[in-house]
Structure 1
Amino acid sequence: MKQWTRDLGMGVRFAFAGGREGWVRVALTAVGVGLGVALLLLTTAIPNAMAARGDREDARADSAFSATPLKKADDTLIVASVGTTYHDKNVRGRELEPEGAKAPLPPGVRRFPAVGEMVVSPALKKLLESDDGKLLRERLPDRVVGTIGESGLVGPAELAFYRGAEGLAAHMNSFHSERIDKFGNPDPSPSDRMDPTLLLLILVVFIVLLMPVAVFIAAAVRFGGERRDRRLAALRLVGSDARMTRRIAAGEALAGAAVGVLFGAAFFLGAREFVGSVEVFDISVFPSYLNPSPLLALLVAVAVPAAAVVVTQLALRGVVIEPLGVVRTAKPARRRLWWRLLLPVGGIALLYPMIGQGNDGGDFNQYLVTGGVVLLLVGITALLPWIVEAVVARLGAGPVAWQLAVRRLQLSSGTAARMVNGIAVAVAGAIALQMLFAGVEGDYTKPTGKDVSRAQMQVQVPTGASLSAAQAKFEATRGVKSTVALSSGYLGERPKDPEKWAQVNVGDCASLRVMAKLPSCRDGDVFLIKGGEFNYETPELVKQGRTLWFDGSGRAEPVKSIAWPVPKNLKEAQSIEDPTGMKNGGLLMTPSALPEGAEKTVSGDLYLRLDESLPGAREYVRNTAARIDPYDEPMVWVSEARDDTYESIRTGLFVGASAVLALIGASLLVSQLEQLRERKKLLSALIAFGTKRSTLSLSVLWQTAIPVGLGLVLASTVGLTLGVVLLKMTDTPVSVDWASVLSMTGAGAAVVLVVTLLSLPPLLRLMRPDGLRTE
C-alpha cells in the first residue's frame, strides 16, 4: 500500500508539474469527467426536487380537510378556484375573501389583495406584460399589486395568481368555493402502489440515462493516452519497472479525475442556477430544490476517481511500455470474441425468469432487471471494439481520404470505438425504451369516445343562466364556427326521492338532431328515443296520461320538483351517436315543451366547433366563458387520454434524454479535440508534403463515420433485443416501431455530425506546416 501511495502521488505530481502538456491532458480529462459528474449529481438531485415540489404543493393546499364544515370566524377565509389554461399552459388561480383579521395568508403572499387587485407569480407577471399575454389580460383584467414569493410556487415558471373577491359564500353550495382556517395539507395521503409495469419503466429509464454517462466518464479518463504512454517510456529508461509505471499512470488519471469531480461540482452549481431559468416539457424547479443526497454525492466523489484508477490499469494491460518507446507498431493480438458475448447473454439470462409476468404476475425483481439491462448495454462497449477491428481490417482500396481514415482506424480501432461507445449505449437504450413505451401505451392510453371532428370544446353553463343567451355570446365569439346547445336533467315517478328515472335532453331542433334521427321537428315537440344505451326505466315511466316530475334535488342548490304530464302527441326518434360518443336514451324536448320553472332543474352545455386555423381560437372561447362563469373552465376535447403517472414518466424520459444528448455532444466534442491534438504533428507533416486540406478533412469525417455506422448498427440490434425482452416481460405483444428506431438512430448520427462540423475549425487551424516546429 505504501508503494501504491508513493507511485500514485508521483503520477499526480507529473500531471500538475509536467508543463503545458500535462496541464492540457488534465484539463481535457477534467472537462470530460466533469460533464459526467455534473449529470450524475443532477440525477441524484431529481428525487429531492420532485419531493420539494410535492411539499410546496401540500403547503399551499386550500381544502378544509374536515368532515364538518367550518363556520364563519375571525380566522376563516373563503377560497374559490378560478384557474384557467392559456396556450396549453395551466394557470393556477384562486379568489380570496378574508372573513376576519386573523384569516390565513397563502404561502408567498404578504397581504390580501382587495377586490379588483391580484398578486401574481413572476412568470405570469412577465407574460401579462408581454405582447404574448394580450388575450390573457382580457381574462385577468385585475390590477397587479404584487408578486407571489418562492414559498408559494412549485417552480419559477409556474403561472399563478391570487385575486380579491367578495360574495364567495354564495358559491359554497355549488362547491366552487370553500371556507378554510389554514393553508396546507395536514395529512398528505400516501401514494398509491404503482403497478409493476410503470415501476419497470422508471427503473429502465434511469439505467438507460445513466449508462452513457458512466461510459463517457470511463472514456474521459483515457484522454491523451498515446502521449502519456510515450512519457512513461522515459520513466522506464530511468529505472521504473512495468508495475510502477502503470501505477504512476493511474496517478495521472486520478489527478485528472479528481479535478474532474471539482469541475463537475462547479458545472452542477452553474447548471442548477441555469435550470431555474428554463422550463422543459412544462416542468420547472427552483435551484434550491436541486440538492443531491449527501450519501449519493459522496459515492460519486469517491467512485469516479477510483474508477479512473481501475480503467487506467485495465487499459495499460495491452500496452508494452519499454525504455526505448511504446510497442504499438507491432501487429497487436486479435481481440477475442467469446468473453464479449458472455455479457449480453448473461443479461438475457437474468431477465429471462421474469418473462410473461406482466401486471398479473407480481412485481419485477429490481436487482435482476438492473443487472440484466446493465449487462446488455455494457455488452455493447465490449462488442464494439471487436466489430470495428474486424471490419476495418478488411477495408482497403479507395480514395486517398478513405485510405488515410482506414489506416488510422486499423492502427487505433480501440480509440475510435471508445468515442462511439456512449452514442451506441444511448441509442440502444432509447430504442428499447421506445419499444416498451409503444407496447404498453395502450394500457395507459384510453379513447375518450368524443368525436373531435364535430366539436372541439365543451362549456358548462351555470345554473340559472340563460342557455340561449350564452349560446348567442359564443356564436359571436371569434374562432367559433358553430354551436350546439343542450340541457339535460331527469324525470322521476314522484316529486321526492324517486326510484325510477328517465333522462331528458332539451334543445332546439338543430341541436336535438345531433342525438337522434327526428321524423320532423318544430318547437313544442317531445320525442321518445329508441335504441339508446342509457334508457334507464324510460319505457316503464313514459306512458300517456302519467305525470312525471323534473327532479332538482341532486343539484348544488336544490330546487322544487316540477310536474310534467306525458303528452298525447309523443313522437318517436332513433338514437344516434352524439359528439360525446354516446347513444342516449330517454326523452328529447324542444324548449317550449318544458314546463315553467323546469329550466332550473336542468343543466346546460354548449358544444363548440372551432376554426382550428385561427391560433388563438381556444383563448377567445375561454375569455367568453370567463365572462359568463369564471368558476368553470371550458373542456378541450381530445380523442385519447393518458394515465397521469405514465405521462409523467414519459416527460421525465424526455427531460433526461435531452440532458444526456447534451452531455453526449459536449463529451464527443472534447474527445474529438483531444484526438486532433494528438495528431497535430502528423497533420502538419501531411500538409507539408502537399496533402489537400479537403482530403484531410474528409479523412477525419470518414474516421468518425465508419465507427459511428458500426456502432449504430450494433446499438439497433441490442436495442431491439432488449426491447423484445422487456415487452415479453410485461406480457405485451411484440411489435417494432420502425419509425422510432430510425428516429433514435438518426438522432445519434445527428449528434455525431454536429460534433464533427464543430471540430472542423480547430482541424483547419492544426493543418499548418509550422506545426512541425519543436523545442
Structure 2
Amino acid sequence: MNLRQWARDLGLGFRFAFAGGREGWIRALLTAVGVGLGVALLLLTTAIPNALAARHDRESARSDLRFSQTELDKGDDTLLVANAGTTFRDKDIRGRVLEPEGPHAPVPPGVDRLPGVDEMVVSPALKRLLESDEGTLLRDRLPQRITGTIGESGLIGSQELAFYRGGEGLAARLGEGASRIDRFGDPLPSTERMDPVLLLLILVVFVVLLMPVGVFVATAVRFGGERRDRRLAALRLVGADSRMTRRVAAGEAMAGALLGLVFGTGFFLIGRQWAGSVEVFRFSAFPSYLDPSPLLALLVAVAVPAAAVLVTQAALRGVVIEPLGVVRTARPARRRLWWRLLLPLAGLGMLYPMIGNGRDEGEFNQYLVTGGVLLLLVGVTALLPWIVEAVVARLGAGAVSWQLAVRRLQLSSGSAARMVNGIAVAVAGAIALQMLFAGVEDDYTKDTGQDLTRAQMQVGVPAGLSLDAARARFEATEGVSRVYGFSEGMVGDRAEEPERFTQIAVGDCGSLRELAALPSCRDGDVFVLEGAEYDTDGLALARPGGALYFDTTSSGDEATPVAWPVPEDIRRARSVPDPTGVRRGGILLTPGALPREAAAAVPGQLYLRLDESVPDAREHVRNTAADIDPFVEPMTWVAAKQSNRFAAIRTGLFVGASCVLLLIGASLLVSQLEQLRERRKLLSSLVAFGTRRSTLSLSVLWQTAVPIALGLALACVVGLTLGTVLLKMTDTAVRVDWASVLAMTGMGAGVVLVVTLLSMPPLIRLMRPDGLRTE
C-alpha cells in the first residue's frame, strides 16, 4: 500500500468528519469540544512547571532581608529594608519599609522609584482592597498615601497583597528586623534537598490528576461511533475493503482530534487570561506564567491525534462492518477477565520493591512510581466494562423504566462503562491521595502546644514602652476581653562569661499565676520554680543572699551587666503549664523586685484573650499594635503548624482537582448529550407508541446510576489498595479515613447527578414526534 492511497483514504475520512450537513457538524463539534477540554487541561499541566519556576524567580529577584555575620557598610548605593508585613483577616500582606542611604540606592523590581516618607506603592490587588468597603479597618493600619502600583515583575501572583512604603530611622533596627542591601535578589539560592516522601506525593498527584484527562480524551474521540460505523458500511457497499474502511475511520478520528487541538488551544488561551483575575486556595498567577513548555506542548499535539487513531482502531476490532450493515446486535463474545487483572497486578509489582523505604532509604524510583500508579488506575478502565457487563447480564424484572434501562445497558454495556470510566479513575486516585496525605500529615504537622482557651493572640512589647502602658492600650481595644503578660530575660551566675543561665519572668501576681501555682503573692515577691520541663538550673542559682547578673546583650545596651541580689525570702512555687503548654523553669519576679537598671534587659510579651462575638476582633488588635509600633505584628495562635512545602503540595492538589472536577462535569455532559442525540429516533418512537416521558426520563437516570454505582464501588477498592501500598512505601501505619472515602465517593456521585439533571431539558426536547423525521 503506497502513501498516496493512505493519504487519499485519510483525506476521505477528513471529508466525512465535516460533511453530512447539520448532523456531521454537530458530531464533529461534540468531538472537538470533548477533546478540546482535555487538551486545554493538558496544556495547563504542561505550563505548571514554568509557572512554578516563574513564581520562584520573581520571589528570588525581590529578596531583600539578609541577616549575615558581615554587615554591609553604608554607602551612596545602599538601602535600608525592614519587614512590615501584616495579616488582614485570613490573607497575608507582604510589606517592606524602605529608606535610601544614597542617590544610587537600588529600587525593588516592579517599582519605578522609591516611595518617600508617608508614601506607599501597592500591588493592584491591595489597592482594590484598600479602596473597597471591605478594607476600612486595613486603611487605619496603612494610612500612607498611595503614589503608585507594583508592576508584574515585582509580584508572584496577580492577586498578591503587597506594599512598599518609605521610612526613616531604620539604622537603629539593623539586626532586629531590618537589613542593609545594595541590590535586590537572593545571594544564596536554596539548595535544600527535597524530602523523598514529598517527591512521592508530587509524582502521585500528577499521575492521579492527568489520568482522568487521558480517559476523557479517549472517550471523546469515540463520539458518534454508531453513526460512523453505518457510514463505513455504506463505503463497503460501494466497493471499499475492510482495510480501507479502517483508514477512513482513522482519518475521521484524526480530523476530530485536530479540531479538538484547535478548540483546546482556544479554551486554554481563554482560561489562561481568566486565570490572571482569580485566586484559588490562595494561589494566583499572571497569564504570562502559564506558558507551556514547547517540548511538552508538542508532545500533546502529537499524542492526542495518535491516541485518537489508536482508540478508533481498537474500537473497530469488536465490530464487523459489512456492505449491508454493522454486525453489532449479535450476541458479542464475553469479555475476558484474565488480562484485565494483569494490569493492576503489574502495577502492584512495580510498587512492591519500594515498600518500607520511608524517607531514610533514598529516593523513590520515579519511573516505577509513575508506572505502578498508572497501571493501577488503567486497571480501573479495564475492569469496569467487564464488571458492568457481568452485573447487568443478571439484572431482570422491574418497572418499565428499569427494564428499558437494563436492556439498553445489556446491549451497550461498553458505552455505559466508558462514560463513567473517567469519574471512577478520578475517585480511585482521590481516595488513594487522601489516604496518603492523611497518613503522612502528622510528620509535617507540629503541635504548637498553645492553649487557645487562655489566649488567642500574642504581641511583643517594643523597646521604650513599659509593659503596663502597652497592656492598657490593648485592654482598651475593641474585642479584647483580657490581657496578661510578662517581661522575660536571662540571668547568669557571673558578670562576665557566665557558665550557667536561668530564665526570668516579671509580671503582676495575676499574670504570674498563669505560670505557677503561687501560695500567696504581693508586689515585691520573688519565686523560684520547681517541677519544670526545662531550665532546672534556677533552683541551684537562686541561692538566698547570692547574686545573679542580668544579660543585657539582647537590649542593645553596651552597659555592664546589672547585678541582682537574690532576696532572703525567695520562695518556691510549682510550675504549671504556661499559655504555650510548657512547664517552664527559672525565677518569677513581681515588678517591685526588678532593679530599675535591668528593665531594658527584659522585653515584654502580652497574651490576649479575645471576645469572639466581636466582628474583626483580631483586626482591631493588629491596628492597635500598628499604632504603637508599625513594625510589631501580633502573632495569631493556632493549635498546629504545617510544613510550608507540604501545604503547598496540598494546595496544588486542590487547584488541580478543581480543574479536573470541572473537566469531568463538562465532559460527562457532552458525552451524555451525544448519546441522547444518537438515540433520538428511538426515544421519539417510544413516545409515539405511548411511552410516558417520565418513564423515559427515569430510564435515562437508571442507565447512569447503575454504571456509576459499579464504577464507584470499583474505585473504592482500587483507591484503598493503592492508598495502602503508598502508605507502606512511606513506612507509615495504614489507616483509612472512612469519612474522606465517603466524601470522595459522594463528590463523584454528585457530579454525575448534576450532569444527569442538566441533560434532562435536552432529553425532553428529543422526545418529540418530529424526531422520527429523516432525510
Aligned to 1:321, what secondary structure does the other structure show? Answer: strand
Q: Distance in 2 between matches of 1:543 and 1:380?
A: 74
State the superposition RMSD in angstroms.
1.3
**Residue 261, structure 1, aligned to residue 261, structure 2:** yes
Is the 1:447–1:641 Cα contact (8 Å) retained in structure 2? Answer: yes
Structure 1 position 486, deviation (Å): 0.6
**TM-score scaled to structure 1, two decimals?**
0.98
Q: Distance in 2 between matches of 1:715 and 1:616?
A: 44
**Residue 41, structure 1, aligned to residue 43, structure 2:** yes
* Residue of 68, 71, 86 corresponding to 2:70: 68
Q: Distance in 2 between matches of 1:622 and 1:559?
A: 34
Specify the code of the residue in structure 1 equivalent to 2:101: E
Q: Distance in 2 between matches of 1:347 and 1:400?
A: 43
The equivalences for 1:513-552 within 5 A come to 513-552=513-552
Structure 1 position 665, deviation (Å): 0.4
* Number of the residue aligned with 1:641: 641
Cα deviation, 1:618-668, whole Å, max 9, x if unaligned, reads 111111111112213111111111111111111111110000000000000
Specify the code of the residue in structure 2 equivalent to 1:655: V
The equivalences for 1:81-96 within 5 A come to 81-96=83-98
Q: Distance in 1 between matches of 2:548 and 2:329?
A: 100
Aligned to 1:359, what secondary structure does the other structure show? Answer: coil
* Number of the residue aligned with 1:682: 682
Structure 1 position 540, deviation (Å): 2.8
* Number of the residue aligned with 2:223: 223
* Number of the residue aligned with 1:765: 765
Worse overlay, 642-651 or 95-104:
95-104
Structure 1 position 47, deviation (Å): 0.8
Q: Distance in 2 between matches of 1:649 and 1:576?
A: 38
Is the 1:113–1:119 Cα contact (8 Å) retained in structure 2? Answer: yes
Is the 1:503–1:536 Cα contact (8 Å) retained in structure 2? Answer: no
* Number of the residue aligned with 2:101: 99
* Number of the residue aligned with 2:726: 726
Is the 2:508–2:590 Cα contact (8 Å) retained in structure 1? Answer: yes
**Residue 295, structure 1, aligned to residue 295, structure 2:** yes
* Number of the residue aligned with 2:660: 660
Is the 2:555–2:600 Cα contact (8 Å) retained in structure 1? Answer: no
Structure 1 position 451, deviation (Å): 1.2
* Number of the residue aligned with 2:139: 137
Aligned to 1:361, what secondary structure does the other structure show? Answer: coil
* Number of the residue aligned with 1:239: 239
* Number of the residue aligned with 2:715: 715
Q: Distance in 2 between matches of 1:353 and 1:189?
A: 32
Q: Distance in 2 between matches of 1:188 and 1:530?
A: 46
Q: Distance in 2 between matches of 1:668 and 1:557?
A: 71
Specify the code of the residue in structure 2 equivalent to 1:90: D
Q: Distance in 2 between matches of 1:500 and 1:252?
A: 84
Is the 2:526–2:593 Cα contact (8 Å) retained in structure 1? Answer: yes
Is the 1:501–1:536 Cα contact (8 Å) retained in structure 2? Answer: no
* Number of the residue aligned with 1:150: 152
Is the 1:455–1:579 Cα contact (8 Å) retained in structure 2? Answer: yes
Is the 1:64–1:181 Cα contact (8 Å) retained in structure 2? Answer: no
* Number of the residue aligned with 1:323: 323
Q: Distance in 2 between matches of 1:712 and 1:558?
A: 71
* Number of the residue aligned with 1:123: 125
Q: Distance in 2 between matches of 1:208 and 1:379?
A: 13
Aligned to 2:283, what secondary structure does the other structure show? Answer: coil
* Number of the residue aligned with 1:276: 276
* Number of the residue aligned with 2:446: 446
Specify the code of the residue in structure 2 equivalent to 1:62: D
Aligned to 1:55, what secondary structure does the other structure show? Answer: helix
Structure 1 position 495, deviation (Å): 2.2
Is the 2:554–2:601 Cα contact (8 Å) retained in structure 1? Answer: no
Q: Distance in 1 between matches of 2:505 and 2:639?
A: 24
Decide whether aligned partners of structure 1 residues 727 and 56 sit closer, same or farther in structure 2, where only a CA change above 3 A counts.
same
Decide whether aligned partners of structure 1 residues 64 and 572 sit closer, same or farther in structure 2, where only a CA change above 3 A counts.
closer
Structure 1 position 68, deviation (Å): 3.1
Decide whether aligned partners of structure 1 residues 328 and 558 sit closer, same or farther in structure 2, where only a CA change above 3 A counts.
farther
* Number of the residue aligned with 2:693: 693
Specify the code of the residue in structure 2 equivalent to 1:701: L
Q: Distance in 2 between matches of 1:336 and 1:107?
A: 63
Q: Distance in 2 between matches of 1:728 and 1:129?
A: 52
Structure 1 position 769, deviation (Å): 0.8
Structure 1 position 187, deviation (Å): 4.2
Specify the code of the residue in structure 1 equivalent to 2:20: G
Is the 2:51–2:285 Cα contact (8 Å) retained in structure 1? Answer: yes
Q: Distance in 2 between matches of 1:485 and 1:589?
A: 13
Q: Distance in 1 between matches of 2:557 and 2:630?
A: 18
The equivalences for 1:244-393 within 5 A come to 244-393=244-393
Q: Distance in 2 between matches of 1:86 and 1:560?
A: 42
The equivalences for 1:477-556 within 5 A come to 477-556=477-556
* Number of the residue aligned with 1:183: 184
Worse overlay, 389-398 or 9-18:
9-18
Q: Distance in 1 between matches of 2:361 and 2:436?
A: 18
Cα deviation, 1:355-382, whole Å, max 9, x if unaligned, reads 1111122221111111111111001101
Structure 1 position 444, deviation (Å): 1.0
The equivalences for 1:419-458 within 5 A come to 419-458=419-458
* Number of the residue aligned with 1:594: 594
Structure 1 position 67, deviation (Å): 5.1
* Number of the residue aligned with 2:53: 51
Is the 1:561–1:601 Cα contact (8 Å) retained in structure 2? Answer: no
Gaps of 5+ in 1: none
Q: Distance in 1 between matches of 2:127 and 2:374?
A: 47
Structure 1 position 98, deviation (Å): 1.5
Is the 1:548–1:564 Cα contact (8 Å) retained in structure 2? Answer: yes
* Number of the residue aligned with 1:26: 28
Q: Distance in 1 between matches of 2:118 and 2:712?
A: 60
Q: Distance in 2 between matches of 1:266 and 1:187?
A: 41
Worse overlay, 688-697 or 738-747:
688-697
Structure 1 position 94, deviation (Å): 0.9
* Number of the residue aligned with 1:618: 618
Q: Distance in 2 between matches of 1:283 and 1:209?
A: 18
Q: Distance in 1 between matches of 2:431 and 2:162?
A: 38
Is the 1:559–1:601 Cα contact (8 Å) retained in structure 2? Answer: no
Cα deviation, 1:433-486, whole Å, max 9, x if unaligned, reads 111111111111121111112111111111221111111111111111111111
Specify the code of the residue in structure 2 equivalent to 1:122: P
Decide whether aligned partners of structure 1 residues 509 and 64 sit closer, same or farther in structure 2, where only a CA change above 3 A counts.
closer
* Residue of 8, 11, 15 corresponding to 2:10: 8
Aligned to 1:404, what secondary structure does the other structure show? Answer: helix
Cα deviation, 1:172-210, whole Å, max 9, x if unaligned, reads 2x52222222111244232x1112211111111000000
Q: Distance in 2 between matches of 1:618 and 1:694?
A: 55
Cα deviation, 1:467-511, whole Å, max 9, x if unaligned, reads 111111111111111111111111112223222212111000000
Is the 1:120–1:161 Cα contact (8 Å) retained in structure 2? Answer: yes
Q: Distance in 2 between matches of 1:188 and 1:632?
A: 28
Q: Distance in 2 between matches of 1:639 and 1:582?
A: 14
Is the 1:559–1:600 Cα contact (8 Å) retained in structure 2? Answer: no
Structure 1 position 529, deviation (Å): 1.1
Specify the code of the residue in structure 2 equivalent to 1:447: D
Q: Distance in 2 between matches of 1:498 and 1:374?
A: 62
Cα deviation, 1:648-705, whole Å, max 9, x if unaligned, reads 1111111100000000000001101101110111111111112111111111111111
Is the 2:114–2:166 Cα contact (8 Å) retained in structure 1? Answer: yes
Specify the code of the residue in structure 2 equivalent to 1:595: P
Structure 1 position 64, deviation (Å): 5.1
